[in-house]
Amino acid sequence: MSHRLVTLNQFIVEQQKDFPCSEGRLTRLLSDIGAAAKVITREVRKAGLVDILGADGSTNIQGEEVQKLDVYANKTLISFLKNGGECAAIASEEDDDIVVVENAYEYTSPKYVVTMDPLDGSSNIDVNASIGTIFSIYSRISRQGKANVDDVLQKGSEQVAAGYVIYGSSTMLVLTTGNGVNGFTLDPSIGEFCLSHPDIKMRADGKIFSVNEQNYHSFNPGVKKFIDYCKEVDETAGRPYSARYIGSLVADFHRNLLKGGIFMYPSTQKAPSGKLRLVYECNPMAFIAEQAGGRATNGTVRIMDIKPTELHQRVPFAVGSENMMDQLQTHLSAWG
Ligand code: P6P
């Protein structure tokens, strides 16, 4: 049976019917992000060919060397969001403070704010490993005037939408608006994201565990015991798990979303609060995981229940298949 080609914009508009009071403004915001992703794809795809590869010499607030594509992706997304008129402020992992959208107050009263990691995994750019853009959308809390930092320091449970774009063997946008998770693959021949993975579900029993074992020595006992459990070879069941770790959150998460598995970035000696950012990385991935039937915690509480206290806050992070997350929790409860 031939499948009807459904573009991202057609899908969003069709889903809009589920929100009778919708005015199409979230639709516009999501299409702005989709358009920015196409522009970023064009640069990512030729990164090896033009002088956009490699660092631009600066470092961001995280103290990480900024790659030129990082800067390009950040500027592109901010430009599309500013000009789209539906976004009152942008919190980017690349910027110290929020970008308040000034001109929006003259013509429209934008309802939403966006948090984003414009190009996550950028250390993988030079080695051609998959990288990604991660974003969340919240309804602003401030009712009029300029948006402020409180608008973007909301619990993850307040997200209106979340998604990521993975720049891999193909460019794919994975999105949830709270009604399940859907994947759209960019068809370069028509320049459209087309529905390719409808209603993605994360298997309850995965077979993949993803963690940087270089940090094993500094993990807490429960995490160590869980990793040991994953590596046990059960003769009857064969080798139950496979270790897979790319070092690019979007790529590691995407594989586990489609195949089932668990990703962990626990607290380590070098990163006692964990490495990943609650606002830019963990909340959007947690929303997607839960919408696909998975779970996301900081080892103690649900990620989306944590109230952020500052923009670049880091948290320990575990996300994945329900039963694997239960196994991790069992080991954490027993060993701390
Ligand atoms: P490590 C990339 O720099 C990143 O922020 C995530 O995309 C990725 O999951 C993590 O760091 C990898 O960190 O310490 O294992 O190299």
Find the CATH number of the domain harbouring 36. 3.30.540.10
Q: Is residue 284 domain-shared with residue 186, that is, in the same domain?
A: no
Widest distance between CA atoms in the chain: 68
CA of 251 to the centre of ligand 1 (A): 11
Domain boundary (142, 175, 197) is at 197
The domain tally of the chain equals: 2
Q: Which residue's alpha carbon is nearest to atom 13 within ligand 1?
A: 247
**Burial of residue 164 (number of CB atoms within 10 Å: 0-12, 13-18, 19+):** buried
Q: Which of 62, 70, 134, 275 to probe ligand 1 with, by most ligand atoms within 8 A of CB?
A: 275
Amino acid at 137: I
Alpha helices in the chain (DSSP H): 8-16, 25-45, 68-84, 104-107, 221-231, 249-259, 283-291, 322-335
Do 114 and 24 fall into the same domain?
yes
Looking at the fold, whether 192 and 323 belong to one and the same domain comes out as: no
CA neighbor of 152 nearest in space, from 45, 9, 279:
279
Residue 127 counted as domain residue:
yes
Residue 316 in tokens? 């320990």
Ligand 1 geometric centre to CA of 201 (Å): 25
- The residue whose CA has the least distance to atom 4 of ligand 1 is 121
Please indicate, yes or no, if residue 1 is contained in any of the structural domains. no
Nearest CA to ligand 1 atom 3: 121
Do residue 295 and residue 265 come from a single domain? yes
Residues 79 and 165 in one domain: yes
**248 lies in the same domain as 182:** no
Q: Does residue 261 form part of some domain?
A: yes
Angle at 284 between CA 180 and CA 287, to 5 degrees: 35
Ligand 1 pocket, CB under 6 A: 120-121, 123, 212, 247-249, 252, 275
Residue whose CA lies nearest to ligand 1 atom number 1: 247
Q: Which domain holds residue 215?
A: 208-334
Question: pTM for the full model?
Answer: 0.94
Nearest CA owner, ligand 1 atom 2: 121
Q: Do 184 and 232 sit in the same domain of this protein?
A: no
Q: What angle do CA 315, 320, 324 make, to 5 degrees?
A: 110
Q: What is the pLDDT along the chain (336 residues), one digit of tens a residue?
A: 456 899 999 999 888 777 666 778 899 999 999 999 999 999 888 766 655 556 667 777 777 766 688 899 999 999 999 999 899 999 999 999 999 997 655 556 889 999 999 999 988 888 889 999 999 999 999 987 899 999 999 999 999 999 999 999 999 999 999 999 999 999 999 999 999 999 999 999 999 999 999 999 999 999 999 999 999 987 787 778 999 999 999 999 999 999 999 999 999 999 999 999 999 999 999 999 999 999 999 999 999 999 999 999 999 999 999 999 999 999 999 998
If asked whether residues 170 and 82 sit together in one domain, one would say yes
